A and B are shown apart, each in its own frame.
Chain A
């Protein structure tokens, strides 16, 4: 009886050690199995806090999620002049539809697409829209354009992980995928009453 009691904690420790060992091996593999090519350098293989915390089938506990989200929220750059939606929705449409940029075959990190249509429906006339994210058809028509909605949307575009630490959505502003001006164009695409998204 005593022996069993002694063995049980030992077995648990061994299990935890094995799991940590496996994690370390995987992290190592995710570096050694890759090579730098063009703008896709090897530091892309090293995980930041968010990537590390969101690399299992289940999200971290609520307290961890909240802590991570607060840290991400602090990274958001709000427009200094308060101009959130003054972009050109037609430019926004181009950014939303383009999924180009940041692969090892892209020469320069400039002028990336937002890849919005990869995952979201926006203009109902565009049938080739993905379904990984929620439909954004009628975005401002349904939600209105209150300061709260506008600010949330800017923040979500800049760093989606501020609102859901393990969101599938890339951190467009924080990750330098899109520039501030590009995000403003996408904002116009979502909020301008003339945009097909709101027709």
Chain B
């Protein structure tokens, strides 16, 4: 018995030692991420999300099992890989989070304002994150396949591209300040060049993700929100047009690349 305990502890220690060696060598975290991928704690959020999907909640005491994510009511398999998309019933381009918000409002009677005015990882917005973990898991390994043919999708893509290069705020940054060139880093963090199809796919296809450094699960809305915080802009509103436009731009640019969902980050 005692031997087994020691073996488990030693296992953990050797993982740590290897990770440190990699950092010091070349600031390359890929190997570290590979080690983390087995046992990605995002699965805990996925489990919670799956239960939330099937649980009757809200003033209308309904589940989300009739939620239409674009492939028909209740179809989760492969749905996230084709989002954002244009939805005729709302007349809007929606990403996964804003679509879940619509389903919660129409099916369950949970007001969208509760999510929009809420905080990340708390309340209904926190629940959406778990639902996102559940839905994206069912597109893991699939090619990103966003349909840009609808005029509203075309417009969102064009606006997303413009927003990507839009400099503003206290430090004159745009998304492109950090994500417009190949092979750059902020401190030790590698930055994908999102103006290339390959890196747009890597970026779009690796969020949402569990962040080991702070033990938090972040959706793309959360990721974009923190990018803007570090850009020193004002605060982007949850699921606002700029977040959808940038998502359409990234996903559309990355079309054909593989989604690795949910991701895991250091």
**Chain A interface residues (CB < 8 Å from chain B):** 22-23, 25-26, 29-30, 32-37, 40-42, 44-47, 50-52, 54-57, 99, 102-105, 117-119, 127-132, 161, 168, 170-171, 175, 177
Contacts and interface: CB of A to CB of B under 8 A. Distances in A.
Majority secondary structure, A binding face: loop
Given A37-B235, A102-B171, 4 more contacts: A22-B162, A33-B243, A99-B187, A131-B184
Interface residues of B, number: 43
Interface string B238-257: 00111101000000000000
Contact of A23 (B162, B232, B240): B162
Interface string B210-231: 0000000000000000001110
B178 A50 contact: no
A29 B178 CA distance: 21
Contact of A119 (B170, B174, B186, B234): B186
Secondary structure call for the B interface: mixed
B191 to A, nearest CB: 8
B237 interface: yes
Given A26-B159, A55-B167, A50 B237 contact: no
B236 A34 contact: yes
B118 to A, nearest CB: 14
A144 B214 CA distance: 43
Nearest to A36: B234
A150 B236 CA distance: 40
Contacts of B236: 33-34
